[in-house]
């Protein structure tokens, strides 16, 4: 069965620290997609990245980077030089074409960045 | 481009009343999803549509919940009769295709007294 685990419930850092949010997934499929979403205190869900299972290249977007490792079924998210505006709940999610492409979300990691 | 538009943003009503949540997806998106978010259960998929047809409604909690998509630009989620345990934030999302990124509306915060 598909499953997404975000073991870190809450992380607190001080501004300018680097922080990594962990995501571990379970799937039996060879084709699948992984996502990260951000939910700031205002409540909306913001799409950050989508990665398919055949593309293991790490991705960097500004201060954000993602490390996809199929060998450990992980898709971790790192924020470099964190800022107060990064404070949010971050969700990792998985979808499988064999399971009607439903998004299965992890329970989220609440990140608090203090000035 | 306009994003996913949900209304109302907030709804407070008494138990037993009918509640209707509305969603306008992004134009051109063929998939529409309804989610519920609570502290206890996190984000749950309730139902989703492809080209206005319901594909998977296994997440709909019970018969009190119903969803429709009469056309490509409008969907409703109805709760009748409402109960206090239905209090949650309800999100609508749309995507171009099944495995493409879903874009979420701002949500409807529902409180049933």
Residue B61 is predicted with a pLDDT of 87
Q: Which residues contact A71 (CB under 8 A, 6 or more apart)?
A: none
Q: Is residue B107 within 8 Å of residue B8, measured between CB atoms? A: no
User: What mean pLDDT value characterizes chain A?
Assistant: 93
pLDDT in tens, B10-25: 999 999 999 999 999 9
User: What mean pLDDT value characterizes chain B?
Assistant: 94
Residue A105 is predicted with a pLDDT of 93
Interface size between A and B, measured as CB pairs under 8 A = 47
Find the mean pLDDT for residues A69-89: 96
Kindly indicate the confidence band of residue A101, based on its pLDDT and cuts at 50, 70 and 90. confident
The answer, yes or no, to whether residue A17 has pLDDT greater than 70, is yes
The answer, yes or no, to whether residue A98 has pLDDT greater than 80, is no
Residue A1 is predicted with a pLDDT of 67
Instruction: Give the SS3 label for residue A8.
Output: coil
The answer, yes or no, to whether residue A14 has pLDDT greater than 70, is yes
Query: Of A113, A67, A115, A114, which is closest to residue A92 (Cα–Cα)?
Result: A67
Kindly indicate the confidence band of residue A2, based on its pLDDT and cuts at 50, 70 and 90. confident
Residue B1 is predicted with a pLDDT of 62
Q: With an 8 Å Cβ cutoff, are A91 and B43 in contact?
A: yes
Residue A92 is predicted with a pLDDT of 97
Q: How many CA atoms lie within 13 A of A111 on its CB side?
A: 28
Which of A49-63, B12-26, B90-104 has the highest mean predicted lDDT (pLDDT)? Answer: B12-26
- The DSSP secondary structure of B11-31, one letter per residue, reads EEE-TT--EEEEEEPPTT--E
* Nearest-by-CA chain B residue for A45: B104
The per-residue b/e assignment along B67-93, b for 16 or more CB within 10 angstroms, e otherwise, is bebeebeebebebeebeeebbbbbbbb
Residue A59 is predicted with a pLDDT of 86
* Nearest-by-CA chain B residue for A44: B106
Taking CB atoms and an 8 Å cutoff, what residues of chain B touch A47? 101-104
B14 to chain A, closest Cα gap in Å: 24
């Amino acid at each position: 069965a598909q499953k997404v685990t975000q073991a870190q419930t809450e992380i607190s850092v001080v501004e300018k620290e680097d922080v990594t949010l962990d995501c571990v997934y379970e799937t039996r499929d060879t084709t699948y997609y992984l996502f990260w979403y951000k939910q700031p205190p205002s409540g909306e869900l913001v799409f950050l990245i989508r990665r398919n299972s055949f593309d293991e290249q790490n991705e960097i977007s500004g201060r954000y980077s993602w490390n996809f490792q199929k060998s450990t079924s992980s898709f971790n998210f790192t924020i470099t030089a964190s800022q107060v505006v990064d404070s949010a709940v971050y969700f990792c999610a998985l979808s499988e074409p064999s399971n009607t492409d439903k998004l299965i979300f992890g329970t989220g990691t609440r990140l608090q960045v203090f000035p | 481009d306009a994003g996913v538009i949900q209304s109302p943003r907030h709804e407070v009503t008494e138990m037993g009343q009918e509640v209707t949540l509305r969603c306008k997806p992004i134009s051109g998106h063929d998939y529409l999803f309804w989610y519920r978010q609570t502290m206890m259960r996190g984000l749950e998929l309730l139902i989703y549509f492809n080209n206005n047809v319901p594909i998977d409604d296994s997440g709909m909690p019970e018969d009190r919940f119903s969803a429709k998509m009469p056309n490509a630009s409008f969907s409703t989620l109805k709760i009748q009769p409402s109960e206090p345990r239905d209090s949650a934030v309800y999100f609508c999302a749309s995507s171009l295709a099944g495995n493409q990124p879903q874009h979420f509306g701002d949500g409807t915060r529902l409180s049933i007294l």
